[in-house]
């Protein structure tokens, strides 16, 4: 990652009008307008569908020649964002795994507080399986709050004795809604996009009085044994650093195969800037390699730190 690239992204984020903790109606519009500025990749094809009664967008980019699919969850603090505005990042992943990505329009808080998003995630996953896609050919992924939701889905499936997907990859996951992580303070001056106050506001809307320690809201506090292999990616310049570190540590303690990748100086969900940031492209290449390995290798007996990476450039 060049200093100039990182500086450009940091300045872009610091000058953004987005305040994650601001008025929800206003910030939804700001968030959507920001993401809409990026043109859709020329090789991306999108199709609105439903899975288990939940609206999703099927995203294909490049040759979708392999069996299976990815179920994807967008970020936005459980209050902002949409499947439509996550298409570019979903396409970057689809291009690397040679499979369709289904990005889920789960219900948002405060109108639909916890556990609505988790319920929608489970319904969409079961809907995908109902179409004949076997669980071993499915992986789940997400960024920020969507990363936390992907983990909550895994926990709900495990706890109800349902078939689990082959693997999961989460980028800068918001996995601890208690607001007690040290990095909320120690990384505050470095983070150009998130603040602890903003996260607290969105957590209050989402939880609506529920205990933040509940495992499906704060997966980093959960017992993770039995989950499929995990890939966790995080930048060092974000206040959610400890969410990722704590998740990886808990997974290791609970005998879950986990790969943690930290990227020095990178901001929150830097993979979304792959068109401008070398490290964003590299992270997506590694994420794609991880998912391909677990989808292409039935019941792998060992989990490599990262499978050999071949770039399918963003």
Rounded Cα gap, residues 44 and 27, in angstroms: 27
Is 11 annotated in the active site? no
The tokens for 97 are 């795994």
Total length of the chain: 314
Write down the catalytic residue from 144, 172, 193, 218. Answer: 144
144 given a catalytic annotation: yes
Task: With CA atoms as reference, report the closest residue to 198 among 14, 21, 19.
Answer: 21
- What angle do the packed helices 145-159 and 116-130 form, to 10 degrees? 70
Q: Which of 98, 172, 261, 268 is catalytic?
A: 268
Structure tokens at 202: 């969105």
| Half-sphere exposure of residue 46: CA atoms within 13 angstroms, side-chain side | 19
Residue 263 near residue 134 (C-beta atoms within 8 A)? no
Q: Please answer whether residues 225 and 254 qualify as being in contact, where contact means their C-beta atoms are separated by less than 8 angstroms.
A: yes
CA distance 143 to 284: 12
What is the C-alpha separation between 125 and 122, in angstroms, rounded?
A: 5
Q: Distances in Å between the alpha carbon of 210 and those of 149, 188, 213, 290?
A: 16, 26, 9, 34
**Residue 3: active-site member:** no
The active-site residue out of 58, 238, 261, 279 is 238
> Which residue from 136, 162, 167, 135 is spatially nearest to 151, judged by alpha carbons?
167
Catalytic positions: 144, 238, 268
């Amino acid at each position: 990652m060049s200093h100039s690239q990182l500086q450009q992204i940091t300045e872009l984020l610091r000058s953004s009008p987005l305040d994650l903790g601001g008025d929800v109606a206003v910030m939804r519009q700001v968030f959507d307008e920001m993401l809409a500025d990026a043109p859709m990749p020329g090789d991306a094809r999108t199709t609105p569908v439903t899975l288990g009664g939940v609206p999703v967008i099927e995203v294909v980019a490049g040759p979708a020649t392999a069996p299976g699919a990815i179920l994807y969850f967008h970020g936005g603090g459980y209050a902002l964002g949409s499947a439509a505005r996550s298409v570019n990042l979903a396409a970057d992943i689809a291009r690397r795994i040679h499979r369709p990505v289904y990005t889920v329009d789960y219900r948002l808080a405060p109108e639909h507080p916890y556990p609505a998003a988790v319920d929608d995630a489970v319904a969409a996953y079961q809907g995908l399986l109902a179409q004949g896609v076997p669980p071993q050919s499915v992986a789940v992924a997400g960024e920020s709050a969507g990363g936390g939701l992907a983990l909550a889905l895994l926990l709900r499936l495990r706890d109800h004795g349902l078939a689990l997907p082959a693997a999961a990859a989460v980028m800068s996951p918001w996995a601890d809604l208690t607001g007690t992580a040290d990095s909320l303070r120690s990384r505050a001056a470095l983070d150009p996009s998130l603040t602890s106050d903003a996260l607290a506001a969105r957590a209050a809307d989402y939880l609506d009085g529920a205990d933040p320690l509940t495992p499906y809201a704060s997966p980093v506090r959960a017992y993770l044994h039995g989950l499929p292999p995990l890939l966790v990616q995080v930048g060092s310049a974000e206040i959610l650093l400890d969410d990722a570190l704590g998740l990886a540590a808990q997974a290791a303690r609970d005998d879950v195969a986990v790969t943690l990748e930290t990227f020095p100086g990178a901001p929150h969900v830097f993979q979304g800037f792959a068109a401008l940031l070398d490290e964003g492209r590299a992270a997506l290449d590694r994420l794609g390699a991880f998912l391909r390995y677990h989808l292409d290798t039935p019941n792998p007996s060992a989990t490599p730190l990262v499978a050999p990476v071949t770039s399918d450039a963003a």
